[in-house]
A and B are shown apart, each in its own frame.
Chain A
Amino acid sequence: MSQLRLMWRKSLNAVMLTLTGVAAFGVVSILFLILGYLIWNGGRSLNWDFFTQLPKPVGESGGGMANAIVGSLKLLLLAALIGLPVGLIAGVYLAEFGGRTFSFVIRYTTDLLNGVPSIVIGIFAYSLAVLPVKHFSTLAGGFALGMMVVPITVRATEEFLRAVPGSLREGAMALGASKWRTIATVVLPAASGGIITGMLLSLARVAGETAPLLFTAFSNRFWSPGWNQPIASLPVMIYTYAIAPYDDWHRQAWAAGLILLSLVLLANLGCRLVLSGRGATRSN
């Protein structure tokens, strides 16, 4: 009887161990399948023209996505200008000043905002920044992305500020620094590595957002000077090109996907480097 039970327990153990291993392998292989597929398909379609040329008129093959690359960068710049300062300052409030009830409300709201589907953010930006002026614009797209940057930045700022030991704050205040002075000159610099990482990650995340751009920044096939016209971006171009009936466009959509993913991976890698560099000096 007990012999049987022991065998049953041993085999159950083996089965569960195998299951966890298979699931973990599955997670890793999904990423590598996507990566491999992108590199295989996108890499073949990448050439110098892709970075320097505008899209060719419909029906002609060749051309590139220079306008979408610049467009994505412009949209991200706007999103950063709108979202990062708000997120940073709100995060400082939560970590350093907030009372209990009000902080709870802000924290909860921030988490909800983080969970709002991006298409809903898009409608909101559309009704606020597109409908009144009756045309799509870079500004409206940047505004939509900026709203999505806020919650991640708030929480990253708060968490990394909280990780700064209280003894540093006391040290500065014991020297006669005011609370704001302490935060600006000691606490924020001590947390800067983590906060910058959070900011980069939030930008990397919205760099791939398509839904909120479809009806705010829209898209076009030309250079888009200034901030008040529709503008092309990599994700929207991928969407448009992928569902088009031309093989040449499909190839370019793969190439755009590869570029977008590389940007995100580079941002992640940059964060790791920043963090590990800081970590080495901070641990003592």
Chain B
Amino acid sequence: METTPAVSHKEAPVRFSISNLNFFYGAKQAVFNLNLKIPANKVTALIGPSGCGKSTFLRTLNRMNDTIRHSRVQGDILLDGQDILGMDVVKLRRRVGMVFQRPNPFPKSIYDNVAYGLRINGYTGRLDDLVEKSLKRAALWEEVKDALHKSAFALSGGQQQRLCIARALAVDPEVLLLDEPCSALDPVTTAKIEELMFHLKDSCTMAIVTHNMQQAARASDFTAFMLDGKLIEHNETSKLFTTPQDPRTEAYITGRFG
């Protein structure tokens, strides 16, 4: 059993409650007995060296791993108290959106990219308003409002990533999962996305996987450190980075490995 230091969640209700989570790719176990609570309207960062299972863990939260053959999940993942493993996956993904490592806009117009989630979910209201609102929430509206019907590929990498965020926000998810969203972006664009995350906290819970420890320190409220598929330490970001409890956490954040 890994010990997870107690974190006070008094100020924020828990959105995701994960207990005794194990994940397998065939015979290979990638996540070991993981327990974690993700507080609502906060940013939780997942850090750890490559291959430590943080992306795998993130992808269990909206069941993106379902598509991988021979993969297996054990344990409980509760979203607002409901078990997501028994939930209809379409409904789950409408509530838990995801932004990927590399921007992956669809080969459609900017407008159609944002409207995609609404259309497939049978939304019948005024699309124009929601598209505008989503682009504003992703801080992209001012840059694209005159080019809504141009191809999304005409945008820069950073704009494409914000478009992907807008696309995920359009269906108004409760949780936004971000899988190294800035790893392909330059520092200026990265700063824009971090600022955006700060403003999104009002309406959205976020979990972000990042390789960049400065980013975790800057942009998150809580940080979880993973190593070899196990959760080593989870605490408020300021505490984890200043007074890590576990020597392995300290070694990692001071750059001695990983």
Contact = CB atoms under 8 A, between A and B. Distances in A.
Given A173-B93, A174-B168, A186 B62 contact: no
A165 B104 contact: yes
A284 B153 contact: yes
A282 B107 contact: yes
A176 B167 CA distance: 12
Contact of A185 (B62, B120, B151): B120
B162 interface: no
Interface string B47-75: 00000000000000010100100000000
Given A175-B93, A176-B90, A189 B107 contact: yes
Given A281-B153, A284-B153, A174 B97 contact: yes
A262 interface: no
Contacts of B108: 189
B182 interface: no
Contacts of A165: 104
B90 A170 contact: no
Contacts, number: 70
Interface string A170-186: 11111111100100011
B94 interface: yes
B171 interface: yes
Nearest to A283: B153
Given A168-B106, A189-B107, A190-B107, A174 B62 contact: yes
A274 to B, nearest CB: 14
Nearest to B97: A174
Given A281-B107, A281-B151, A282-B153, A175 B171 contact: yes
- Interface SS of A by simple majority: helix
A175 B100 contact: no
Nearest to A99: B69
A123 to B, nearest CB: 43
A167 interface: yes
Contacts of B121: 176
Given A176-B94, A181-B120, A171 B106 contact: yes
B104 A175 contact: no
Interface string B90-134: 110110011010101111100000001100110000000000000
Given A170-B64, A174-B62, A189-B106, 14 more contacts: A168-B106, A170-B67, A170-B100, A171-B100, A171-B104, A174-B100, A174-B168, A176-B171, A177-B90, A185-B116, A185-B120, A186-B106, A190-B107, A281-B153
30 contacts: A165-B104, A167-B100, A167-B104, A171-B105, A171-B164, A171-B167, A172-B106, A173-B64, A174-B62, A174-B64, A174-B97, A174-B168, A175-B93, A175-B94, A175-B97, A175-B116, A175-B117, A176-B90, A176-B94, A176-B120, A185-B116, A185-B120, A189-B107, A189-B108, A281-B107, A281-B151, A282-B107, A282-B153, A283-B153, A284-B160
9 closest cross-chain pairs (CB), A and B: A175-B117, A167-B104, A174-B98, A176-B93, A176-B94, A171-B104, A284-B153, A176-B90, A190-B107
Interface of A: 165, 167-168, 170-178, 181, 185-186, 189-190, 281-284
Interface of B: 62, 64, 67, 90-91, 93-94, 97-98, 100, 102, 104-108, 116-117, 120-121, 151, 153, 160, 164, 167-168, 171
